[in-house]
Structure 1
Amino acid sequence: MECRAVVVFLDKRGRQKRKLSSTKQALLDFGMDEAKIPSIIIRYEHMEQVLTMQGHVSLFGPEISAGKATISLKEQGVHVNISKADPTQLRLRLTALMKQLRTSVDRRKLNQDEEQPTSLRLDPRIRRPLGAIQLNQLEPSSPPRKSCKVQSQAGGNLKRPSRALRAVAEGGVVGNPAIDASLTPEQKDVLMAVLSGRNVFFTGSAGTGKSYLIGKIIEALPKATTVVTASTGVAACAIGGTTLHAFAGVQAGSSRLPVNTSAWTTAKVLLIDEVSMIDAPYFDQLEQTARRVRRCNKPFGGLQLVLVGDFLQLPPVTKRGEETQFCFQAKSWDACVHECFHLSQVHRQRDRTFVDILHRCRLGQCTPSDITYIQRSATHRLDSSHIRATRLCTHVKEAKQINEQQLSKLSGSSKLFTRSDASPDVSRSSLASRVEKVLELKVGAQVMLSANVNVSAGLANGSRGVVVKFDAVGWPVVEFANGREETVRMHTWRIRTAAGRVMECKQVPLRLAWAVSIHKSQGMTLDALEVDLSRVFEWGQAYVALSRARTYEGLCVKRFSAKSIRAHPRVLAFYRSKFNLC
């Protein structure tokens, strides 16, 4: 967390002995040594100071909303005065710190004979930031007693702890997403790194919960200063954001600054989903634009970055004959990204054999037995009595043509459902690529949900079914693959633009599902899919198609060969260096 940190050392009489500060912003973090003793780590421009927190520790935050707080270490005779910090990050960090201090006290009560002596030292063993602590595993304890007033360096008295910090001491901020029990330990590590102010890139194979974690991160960050974007319109709409190009306001290769710079200057956090589809030159261009518009020479103009995507899936779109330049090859990448995380726990598929084969396909390392296993899926019969498997196509045009042909073959009249836009700008937003302007349906049409309708009942984005009738009002009644019959009515989509304005539109959350392109299937989970991989043309395209299947039994692959599986060697080298993936 960036802030101004002044460390005041007191003598035995409480008078100032020396002071440590810097005219520039410092990087403050909380950590634990190998003895699990909480510590404060302060990194100045030319040095680092580590203070262990043993004995009586008091937190004071009368102006926490202004980014100010004081940590008092009574036994050491040290005050750490914090100012110019982001208020939200400061509150969340102090919440985590108080929980860790309470746990540390409880542990020492149980092991008093092993209690370590109080000390103040530079400790090279500090390795793990507090942001990586699994907060849901902390032991419960009774709230600490209210702290008494502590003498300040000027000889006066500090004010009583603020209501916000008293709430922290009594159990933390209500609804703090950092303790969400639904997150896995590796997801919590990412979330806490983000909340600590670090620039992070996190990746993972298909189905590891990247989109779910994005939602939790968005919930945790302040809406007014967080810009949520994605490289494609479909991905942007799925997370309630805008496209990166719409936020940036600059075209690739252009040297012009954006006309409207307010979004750039007010933002503190920029989240980019599907960053793997952004090429290196455009990333560098955005980095330079951020410096110029924000008038700050720090990497990316001082913006905190949260980058998400899997470089082993679909690559950036390039012109014919051009070499692919991945985002991590950008000149500014290393300066902009502090930490990289790889999510490994797969939630989409449960069959361990299938998961392992998909993992090897992702890395382009299919064995002969893997190839035989996938080829054997061509014999699977996926069509039920009236719900057919969705066909994944390598090209968008092919998928659209199949859907139109199949719809025209159905007898009976069509019903048209027109999107209702709250404002004219919707047609130029990411909603336009996600939500059909005009949806044409007939009885017998194969459809899938384009939004979560009733997740507990198994009706989520990607759930497939068939229109069996229209009710008295005219809404489509769909029988889904799980046997449930549901009347599907208007759904409201909302996104937040880079300027902070909320856009919304309404439409029946269905799309024709005889076929869908592999590119548009990213993020989907399908219970029955058929794919012909003889025409794949992109790195990672075959892996994206295969990993959409929830189960091996729900997959039918035609004309599959080892040549279909390709992983880019530069991506493999990058992942090997960061995550030791073989």
Structure 2
Amino acid sequence: MRLDGNAQVARAIHDELSAPVPPKDVHCAEHLNDDQRSSFDIIIEAIDVENGRIFFIDGPSGTGKTYLYRAILATVKLRGKYKLPVASSGIAATLFHRGKTAHKTLGIPVTLHASSTWKFSKQDVKTQLVKYAAVIIWDEATMTHRHEYEAINRSLRDLTGVYVPFGGKVVVFGGDFRQILPVVPKGTKAQTIVACLVRSTLWTHVQLLHLTQNMRSIHDPEFATFLLRVGDGCEPIVDEDMIKLPSSICVGNGDQISVDNLIRQIFPNLTKHVGDVFYMVQRAIITPTNDEVDMLNEKILKEFAGEEKTFYSFDSVPEDRQNLYQQEFLNSLSFSGFPPHILKLKVGSPIMLLRNINTSSGLCNGTRLICSRLRDHVIEAEI
């Protein structure tokens, strides 16, 4: 039997509300620190009284923003209300139960301008679910162009018929302006700043909530304080925009010996932990360029036991362009967001997904996996 629009919406809402709250989120609200508790109480009160408000949770990395989101979402769900968790990136969306990217959930146009709107149909089930939501939580909001928020604001006003910011919805943005800002292709520093949420007319309606206690470095307050000084621009500058790292977090001057020491520091007893998911997910080395990535991957892979398998990218060149580009030259290029032409792997190797395949299942850009089996043309891996 085919359901009409209202019945489909009712069924979708029932399915969402009847789904169990993740066990790890049920008691989150009981373990909040003072900053988190203060923000939690303010937001939950606004949701309970259905008082349309806009909040921005400002906190450096490690201060427990995601934990606070989970506490809010679990509490809203347990009170029988519908919530809408979204994020600006796929990897951030996977941290929410049933989280999705904002573009997928809200149908945001790829090409935006100052008067863009969300292209929706009021009879569409997804549109009605957005209208029904008691709260919208939007993570990593600092990396999204302000035109997106302004487009959603105009569309929600039209959808709800309530002509106040975001149609009277409780909206919770979160992020850290010390990290990634909106990407403006070939844009200047000034153009990037203008693209930020703080330069939107909506910002005057935003209530700022601050998280300051670094829970990730709670046992290393000196390092946490150093990170804040760097993020706030208070760390002394040595040369132009360069700062000097404390000797306590340096392992050498970049020569071969110091690189080996770095690998041993980050991956101690690596040979004994090959294939250990918990061991691998707790550590990573981040580098500024792909050249360092390739060098470190090659050195670390040698520590893995087993047979090495090599995969090559598809590298044919159209006949009319064979005289313009040599295959050897094309194969030597290494671009951000693309795998190398030659990919060497062993069973147990950690890898990273580069495309959004199924965000709801956790398969999105940035997801880390571990190789479980290597075939001729297929790589089997687990999240």
Instruction: Compute the TM-score of the two structures, normalised by the length of structure 2.
Output: 0.58
Aligned partners of 1:257 and 1:293 also within 8 Å = no
- Counterpart among 434, 447, 450 of residue 350 in structure 2: 447
| 3-state SS of paired residue (1:271) | strand
Post-superposition offset of 1:244: 0.8
Instruction: Compute the TM-score of the two structures, normalised by the length of structure 1.
Output: 0.39
Rounded to whole Å, the distance in 2 between the matches of 1:224 and 1:371 is 50
- Counterpart among 229, 236, 240 of residue 360 in structure 1: 229
Aligned partners of 1:208 and 1:344 also within 8 Å = yes
Aligned partners of 2:118 and 2:151 also within 8 Å = no
Post-superposition offset of 1:297: 0.6
Q: 1:266 and 1:365, CA in 2 relative to 1: closer, same or farther beyond 3 A?
A: same
Post-superposition offset of 1:399: 8.0
Aligned partners of 2:308 and 2:344 also within 8 Å = no
Partner of 2:41: 192
Q: How many corresponding residue pairs?
A: 263
Post-superposition offset of 1:207: 1.1
1:344 aligns with 2:212: yes
Partner of 1:231: 88
Q: Deviations over 1:163-203 (max 9, x none)?
A: xxxxxxxxxxxx99799441111111111111111432111
Partner of 2:58: 203
1:258 aligns with 2:120: yes
Partner of 2:322: none
Structure 1 residue identity aligned to 2:369: R
Partner of 2:377: none
| 3-state SS of paired residue (2:69) | helix
Structure 2 residue identity aligned to 1:183: L
Q: Which runs of structure 2 are paired with 1:69-148 in the superposition (5 Å)?
A: none
| 3-state SS of paired residue (1:297) | coil
Rounded to whole Å, the distance in 1 between the matches of 2:231 and 2:36 is 21
Aligned partners of 1:415 and 1:441 also within 8 Å = yes
Q: 1:354 and 1:256, CA in 2 relative to 1: closer, same or farther beyond 3 A?
A: closer
Post-superposition offset of 1:407: 8.4
Aligned partners of 1:247 and 1:263 also within 8 Å = no
Post-superposition offset of 1:343: 0.8
Rounded to whole Å, the distance in 1 between the matches of 2:152 and 2:128 is 15
Post-superposition offset of 1:449: 11
Q: Which has the higher helix share?
A: 2
Partner of 2:136: 270
| 3-state SS of paired residue (1:316) | coil
Rounded to whole Å, the distance in 1 between the matches of 2:234 and 2:59 is 17
Aligned partners of 2:107 and 2:118 also within 8 Å = no
| 3-state SS of paired residue (1:390) | coil
Rounded to whole Å, the distance in 2 between the matches of 1:373 and 1:414 is 40
| 3-state SS of paired residue (2:244) | helix
| 3-state SS of paired residue (2:94) | helix
Q: Which runs of structure 2 are paired with 1:527-566 in the superposition (5 Å)?
A: none
- Counterpart among 270, 294, 301 of residue 386 in structure 1: 270
- Counterpart among 404, 412, 415 of residue 307 in structure 2: 412
Q: Which has the higher strand share?
A: 1
Aligned partners of 1:264 and 1:294 also within 8 Å = no
Post-superposition offset of 1:301: 0.9
Rounded to whole Å, the distance in 2 between the matches of 1:256 and 1:204 is 29
Aligned partners of 2:54 and 2:170 also within 8 Å = yes
Partner of 1:331: 201
- Structure 1 unaligned blocks of 5 or more: 1-174, 417-432, 434-438, 451-493, 496-502, 514-582
1:317 aligns with 2:183: yes
Rounded to whole Å, the distance in 2 between the matches of 1:313 and 1:221 is 29
Q: 1:403 and 1:225, CA in 2 relative to 1: closer, same or farther beyond 3 A?
A: farther
Structure 1 residue identity aligned to 2:201: K
Rounded to whole Å, the distance in 2 between the matches of 1:449 and 1:255 is 34
Stretch deviating more after TM superposition (257-266 or 348-357): 257-266
Aligned partners of 1:230 and 1:242 also within 8 Å = yes
Aligned partners of 1:178 and 1:191 also within 8 Å = no
Rounded to whole Å, the distance in 1 between the matches of 2:292 and 2:158 is 43
Structure 2 residue identity aligned to 1:283: Y
| 3-state SS of paired residue (2:73) | helix
Rounded to whole Å, the distance in 2 between the matches of 1:512 and 1:406 is 18
Q: Deviations over 1:28-47 (max 9, x none)?
A: xxxxxxxxxxxxxxxxxxxx
Post-superposition offset of 1:214: 1.1
Rounded to whole Å, the distance in 2 between the matches of 1:398 and 1:327 is 34
1:297 aligns with 2:170: no
Aligned partners of 1:413 and 1:442 also within 8 Å = yes
Q: 1:182 and 1:375, CA in 2 relative to 1: closer, same or farther beyond 3 A?
A: closer
Structure 1 residue identity aligned to 2:103: H
- Structure 2 unaligned blocks of 5 or more: 1-23, 47-52, 253-257, 272-279, 312-336, 338-342, 372-383
Rounded to whole Å, the distance in 2 between the matches of 1:378 and 1:188 is 39
Rounded to whole Å, the distance in 1 between the matches of 2:176 and 2:159 is 29
Larger RCO (alpha carbons 8 Å, 6+ apart): 2
| 3-state SS of paired residue (2:136) | strand
Rounded to whole Å, the distance in 1 between the matches of 2:231 and 2:86 is 25
Rounded to whole Å, the distance in 1 between the matches of 2:370 and 2:199 is 38
Structure 2 residue identity aligned to 1:412: E
Aligned partners of 2:93 and 2:100 also within 8 Å = yes
Q: 1:372 and 1:307, CA in 2 relative to 1: closer, same or farther beyond 3 A?
A: closer
Structure 2 residue identity aligned to 1:299: P
Partner of 1:52: none
1:246 aligns with 2:104: yes
Rounded to whole Å, the distance in 2 between the matches of 1:291 and 1:332 is 13
Report the aligned-residue RMSD. Answer: 4.0
